[in-house]
Amino acid sequence: MGGWTRPSTLSQALAALAERPLVPLAGGTDFYPARVGKPIDDDVLDVTGIAELARISRDGEGWRIPARVTWSDLIAADLPPAFDALKAAAREVGGVQIQNAGTLVGNLCNASPAADGVPPLLALDASVELASLRGTRVLPVSAFVLGNRRTARAPDELVVGVRVPDRPSRSAFLKLGARKYLVISIAMVAANIEAAGDTVRAARVAVGACSAAARRLPELEAALAGAKLADMARIATFAHLAPLSPIDDVRGTAEYRREAALVAVKRVLEALA
């Protein structure tokens, strides 16, 4: 059996990480399922006691969602419409048990291609704050999640939380799965639209489960800028999905994913028209 530490402050946590590599653990909802029938011999750093990481806050730079914030916390939080997509994603994660324990940061760090939190964070233009005794660095989500189960976190770093710039927008999310609850996405789409009147000022659209890490669709976003809100759904085409590289798996074929992703993109844009 491995070691265990549950510090109550961030500095204690970083000191522990500087000493030796530890596996951070928050809600455990990815940690334990990966160890069914296997010995649990990891040296664990439990982040759920760190006082500074408990609550969502807002300052001059925008919103901070620290590492202890669960899906249920997000659902209950009073947040502007820019977060509607993230909240919708939260409501569809697992069942309520998973939402009560699982964290957004854990979801991000676990870096599953099907992580439902990642497309909304991409569409929010969020960044990830990492801390170590060496200092703090902030990476855009797209630079943090490198691929399937791969992140830019160094072994002595802890993800402190997610930062979201304060930009008024509306957002929507759509998850496609083969059953209602407790389902891993076949594909999911999140979009944030900043509008002036009936015109798109800026659009951010991200698709998950159709590539090793969720991707934004820059060409679509460029095509949407300046368009009428009502035209958004019509503008999206297969060519805009070029950044995606869907695969065949037990949940669906690559061909289906590509087609469904476009339908989902159009529907999300339609919902925001």
Partner 1 sequence: MKLDFVLNGKPVCADVAPIARLADVLRDEFGLQGTKIGCNAGDCGACTVRLDGKQVCACLVPAGQVAGRAVATVEGLARDGKLGELQRAFAAHGAAQCGICTPGMLMAADDLLARVAKPTTRQIEDALGGVLCRCTGYRKIVEAVASVAADSPALADPAPGRAVGARFLKVDAAARVDGSARYGADGWPEDALHLRAVRSPHHHARFAIGDLAPLRAKYPGIVRVLLAEDIPGQNRFGIYPTGKDQPALAEGYVRHRGEPIAALVGDKATIAAFDDADFPVAWTALDPILGVDAAKAGPKLHPHLADNVLIRGRVAKGDPGPEFAKAAAVAEGEFQTAFVEHAYIEPEAGYARRVGDRIEIVATTQTPYMDRDEIALILGVKPDQVRIVPTAVGGGFGGKLDLSVQPLIATAAWLLNRPVAWAYTRPESMAASTKRHPAKIRARAAADADGKLLAFQFHGDFDTGAYASWGPTVANRVPVHAMGPYAVPHVLCTSAAIHTNGPSAGAFRGFGVPQAAIAQEQLFDELALALGIDPLEFRRRNALRAGMKTATGHEIRASVGLVACLDALEPEWRLWRQAAEAHNKTGARRRRGVGLACMWYGIGNTSMSNPSTMRGALAADGTLTLYSGAVDIGQGSNTIMTQIFADAVGLPAASVRLVAGDTDLTDDAGKTSASRQTFVSGNAARLAGADLRAKLLRLANAGPDAAIRVENGMAIVGERTIDLAALPKDGRGNVLEGVGTFDPPTTPLDADGQGVPYATYAFAAQMAEIDVDPELGTVKVLRMRAAHDVGKAVNPIQVEGQIHGGIAQGLGLALMEEYIPGRTENLHDYLIPTFGDMPAIECILIEDPEPLGPYGAKGIGEPALVPTAPAILNAIHHATGVRMTRVPATPDRVRAAIRAKAGAA
Q: What is the 3-state secondary structure (H, E, C) of 89-136?
A: HHHCCCCHHHHHHCEHHHHHHHCCCCCCCHHHHHHCCCEEEEEECCEE
3-state secondary structure at position 13: helix
| Interface with ligand FAD, residue 30, by CB under 6 A | yes
Q: How far is the CB of 74 from ligand FAD (least distance, A)?
A: 10
Tell me the residue type at 244: L
Q: How far is the CB of 6 from partner 1 (least distance, A)?
A: 6
Binding ligand FAD (rule: CB under 6 A), the pick from 7, 102, 120, 252 is: 102
| Interface with partner 1, residue 95, by CB under 8 A | yes
Binding partner 1 (rule: CB under 8 A), the pick from 105, 128, 164, 176 is: 176
Binding partner 1 (rule: CB under 8 A), the pick from 18, 19, 21, 41 is: 41
Binding partner 1 (rule: CB under 8 A), the pick from 146, 227, 263, 271 is: 263
| Interface with partner 1, residue 76, by CB under 8 A | no
Q: By C-beta, is 49 or 81 nearer to partner 1? A: 49
Q: By C-beta, is 47 or 191 nearer to partner 1? A: 47
Q: By C-beta, is 208 or 221 nearer to ligand FAD? A: 208
For residue 52, what are its two tokens?
């500074």
Please give the radius of gyration of the chain, using alpha carbons only, rounded to the nearest integer.
Answer: 19
3-state secondary structure at position 50: coil
Tell me the residue type at 43: D
Q: By C-beta, is 31 or 63 nearer to ligand FAD? A: 31
Question: In Å, how far from its chain's centre is CA 158?
Answer: 17
Binding ligand FAD (rule: CB under 6 A), the pick from 24, 113, 120, 246 is: 24
Q: By C-beta, is 43 or 231 nearer to partner 1? A: 43
Q: How far is the CB of 221 from ligand FAD (least distance, A)?
A: 23
DSSP 198: T
Question: Which of ligand FAD, partner 1, none does residue 115 bind to, with CB < 5 to 8 Å depending on kind?
Answer: ligand FAD
User: Footprint of ligand FAD on residues 71-90 (CB under 6 A)?
Assistant: none
Give the whole-angstrom CA distance, residue 116 versus residue 197: 30
- Measured in degrees and rounded to the nearest 5, phi and psi for residue 26 equal -115, -95
Q: How many CA atoms lie within 13 A of 79 on its CB side?
A: 29
